[in-house]
Amino acid sequence: MIITCSDTRTPDTDTSGQLIRKLLKENGHTIAAYHLVKDEPAEIKARITEGAANDSVQAIIINGGTGISRRDSTFEAVDAMLEKRLDGFGEVFRFLTYEEIGSPAIMSRATAGIINGRVLFSTPGSENAVRLAMEKLILPELGHLVKELTK
């Protein structure tokens, strides 16, 4: 399941959500659902809850709303719902981002964890950040994570 959190994007201009979809499909994954929601905690939580209850959803990938602006509330919505945190995802993501762009990496609140037996990743909304997270971290481990969660 893909969720884009943005106050400005539309399905046509959601290049990050489109990139996630493309990369997942190219790597043999199926997209169970796609949602574009405003950066509103209640909307984000509702979509996460919906995905976590759907048997066809094994992973939830969220992009957008992880910064520090007044409207960025995705982190708070996601963090409140996680049953287990995968702190290494955010740590390594910020390290890789630092290697690419330097000190602005500290503003990223990318996170990951487990909710109702599903892995959830929350990345920044920029296309470059999504590509980095997908290619370096999410896609190499997604199958392994899902397998561990279904043991």
Question: What is the reported pLDDT for 105?
Answer: 97
Asked whether the beta carbons of 63 and 16 are under 8 A apart, the reply is yes
Question: What's the pLDDT score for residue 1?
Answer: 98
What is the helix (H) or strand (E) element at residue 96, kind and residue range? helix 87-101
- Mean pLDDT, range 57-72, rounded to an integer: 95
Which string of DSSP letters, residue by residue, matches 23-76?
HHHHTT-----EEEE-S-HHHHHHHHHHHHT-TT-SEEEEES--SSSTT--HHH
Query: 97: part of which helix (H) or strand (E)?
Result: helix 87-101
Q: What percent of the chain has pLDDT over 70?
A: 100
Dump pLDDT digits (tens) for 20-60: 999 999 999 999 999 999 999 999 999 999 999 999 999 99
The domains of the chain, with CATH numbers, are 2-149 (3.40.980.10)
**pLDDT band at residue 14 under the 50/70/90 scheme:** very high
Tell me the three state secondary structure of residue 80: helix
81-107 mean pLDDT = 97
Mean of the per-residue pLDDT values for the chain? 97
Give how far Cα 106 sits from Cα of 67, 86, 130, Å.
Answer: 10, 18, 16
- Predicted local distance difference test score (pLDDT) of residue 8: 92
79 secondary structure, DSSP code:
H
